[in-house]
C-alpha cells in the first residue's frame, strides 16, 4: 500500500518515510500546498494513496499568537482539505496532534486519557484541537496525540529541544531550563513505528478509528530531561531550574500534559519504552555515528 506522508521534511514525517521506504509518497510544502483545497484534491486524487498521514503542521507556538491566520490555515483548514479528499478516496487519514490540547489543569500523576475533554490554551493549542475536529469529519480517521518529539541524531535537519540544549551546553557555562512543565518527550523512531502499527502497516489490520495517545512511557520535566541528557552526554554544563513564568514565553504552556498510552498498548503494537530508555537509545546511536 502506498502511503502519502505530508510534512515529509519534518522530524516525524521524515522518519515515517524512512520506515515506509518505497511505500512512502513524500510531500512537503514545496511540493504540495495543503492550504489550497483545489490543489490538494486534484493532486491526491491523481496519486490515489491507500492512506494519508498528515505530519504537516504550523508549530511556532509563540509566533502563532500573532500569526493566527497562517497557523489556522495549516493546522485546521488544510486538515479539512485532507479529510475531504480521503473521504472521496475512502482511505484512512492519520492526523498527528499534540499534548498541548490539554491545558494542564490535571492533578500530577493522572495522565490524560483519550476520552477526557481537552482544554487548549493559546492559538497553537486551539488550532491543533480544531484540526482534530476537522480530521474527525472523515469516518476513517486516526488522531495520534504525541509530545516533545526529538529525532534520531542522524537526522541532521531536525531541530528540537534536545539538540538545542546540547548545542548551547557546549558553549555556555550555565543553562536555565524550565522545571515546572510535566510531560513526556518522545523519540521519533518509536512514535513512527507506533503510527504505522495503528494504521495496520505492520499489523494485520488497522486499529479501531479514533484517538490514540502515543508517547514514551513515564513523565518528566524539561529540566529533568536535560539533566539526564547531559549525564548521558558526559557534559558538565551547569543547569539551573526556572519556572514557566520566568521563561516568559508569549504563548501559554501546559503545566501538566502527560498522556495515558494504555489504549495504544492494549492493541499489542510495538511497546513504547520509558523516556529514559528512549533517550539512551538516542545517545547510543549518536556514539555509533561519532565513532
Where are the extended beta strands (E) located within 159-237?
A: 174-178, 182-183, 186-187, 210-213, 220-221
Q: Is position 70 within any domain?
A: yes
Query: Is residue 97 scored above 70 in pLDDT?
Result: yes
Per cent of the chain over pLDDT 90 is 91
Q: Is residue 211 part of a domain?
A: yes
Cα–Cα separations (whole angstroms), residue 246 to 10, 47, 179, 242:
30, 49, 10, 6
Buried b (16+ CB within 10 A) or exposed e, 104-131: bebeeeebbebeeebebbbbbbbbbbbb
Assess if residue 238 is contained within a domain.
no
Coil/strand/helix, residue 140: coil
Task: Indicate the pTM of the whole model.
Answer: 0.96
Tell me, what's the pLDDT at 104?
Answer: 67
Q: Is residue 100 part of a domain?
A: yes
Please give the distance of CA 108 from its chain centroid, rounded to a whole number: 22
Query: Which tops the pLDDT comparison, 223 or 290?
Result: 223
Assign residue 81 the CATH number of its domain. Answer: 3.40.50.720
Question: 233: helix, coil or strand?
Answer: helix
| Position 227 in a domain | no
Q: Is residue 240 part of a domain?
A: no
Catalytic residue numbers?
124
Instruction: Give the count of domains, the chain.
Output: 1
- Whether the predicted pLDDT of 157 surpasses 90: no
Query: Domain of 23?
Result: 3-152+187-216+259-272
Question: How sure is the predictor about 9, in pLDDT bands with cuts at 50, 70 and 90?
Answer: very high
Mean residue pLDDT of the chain comes to: 96
* Residue showing cell 515546572: 180
**Position 27 in a domain:** yes
Condensed to tens digits (0 to 9), the pLDDT of residues 174-214 reads: 999 999 999 999 999 999 999 999 999 999 999 999 999 99
Query: Tens digits of per-residue pLDDT, 100-139?
Result: 999 866 677 799 999 999 999 999 999 999 999 999 999 9
- Residue 152 pLDDT > 70: yes
133-137 own/partner pairs: CB under 8 Å, 24+ apart: 134/76, 134/77, 134/79, 134/80, 134/83, 134/95, 135/54, 135/79, 135/82, 135/83, 135/93, 135/95, 136/83, 137/80, 137/83, 137/84, 137/87
Per the domain annotation, does 280 fall within a domain? no
Cell matching residue 173? 557555562
Amino acid at each position: 500500500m502506498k502511503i502519502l506522508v505530508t510534512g515529509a521534511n519534518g522530524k516525524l514525517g521524515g522518519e515515517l518515510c524512512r520506515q515506509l521506504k518505497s511505500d512512502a509518497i513524500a510531500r512537503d510544502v514545496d511540493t504540495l500546498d495543503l492550504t489550497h483545497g483545489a490543489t490538494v484534491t486534484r493532486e491526491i486524487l491523481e496519486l490515489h494513496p491507500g492512506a494519508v498521514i498528515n505530519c504537516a503542521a504550523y508549530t511556532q507556538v509563540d509566533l502563532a499568537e500573532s500569526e493566527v491566520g497562517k497557523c489556522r490555515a495549516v493546522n485546521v483548514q488544510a486538515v479539512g482539505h485532507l479529510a475531504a479528499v480521503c473521504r472521496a478516496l475512502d482511505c484512512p487519514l492519520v492526523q498527528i496532534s499534540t499534548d498541548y490540547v490539554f491545558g494542564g489543569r490535571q492533578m500530577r500523576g493522572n495522565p490524560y486519557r483519550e476520552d477526557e475533554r481537552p482544554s487548549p490554551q493559546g492559538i497553537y493549542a486551539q488550532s491543533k484541537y480544531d484540526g482534530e475536529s476537522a480530521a474527525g469529519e472523515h469516518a476513517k480517521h486516526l488522531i495520534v496525540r504525541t509530545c516533545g518529539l526529538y529525532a534520531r541524531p542522524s537526522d541532521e535537519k531536525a531541530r528540537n529541544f534536545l539538540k538545542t540544549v546540547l548545542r548551547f551546553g557546549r558553549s555556555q557555562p550555565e543553562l536555565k531550563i524550565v522545571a515546572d512543565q510535566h510531560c513526556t518527550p518522545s523519540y521519533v523512531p518509536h512514535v513512527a513505528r507506533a503510527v504505522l502499527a495503528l494504521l495496520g502497516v505492520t499489523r494485520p489490520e488497522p486499529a479501531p478509528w479514533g484517538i490514540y495517545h502515543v508517547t514514551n512511557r513515564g513523565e518528566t520535566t524539561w529540566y529533568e530531561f536535560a539533566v539526564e541528557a547531559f549525564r548521558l552526554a558526559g557534559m558538565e554544563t551547569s543547569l539551573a531550574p526556572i519556572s514557566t513564568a520566568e521563561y516568559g514565553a508569549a504563548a501559554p504552556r501546559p503545566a501538566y500534559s502527560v498522556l495515558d498510552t494504555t489504549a495504544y498498548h492494549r492493541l499489542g503494537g510495538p511497546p513504547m519504552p520509558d523516556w529514559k530508555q528512549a533517550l539512551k537509545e538516542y545517545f547510543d546511536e549518536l556514539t555509533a555515528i561519532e565513532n
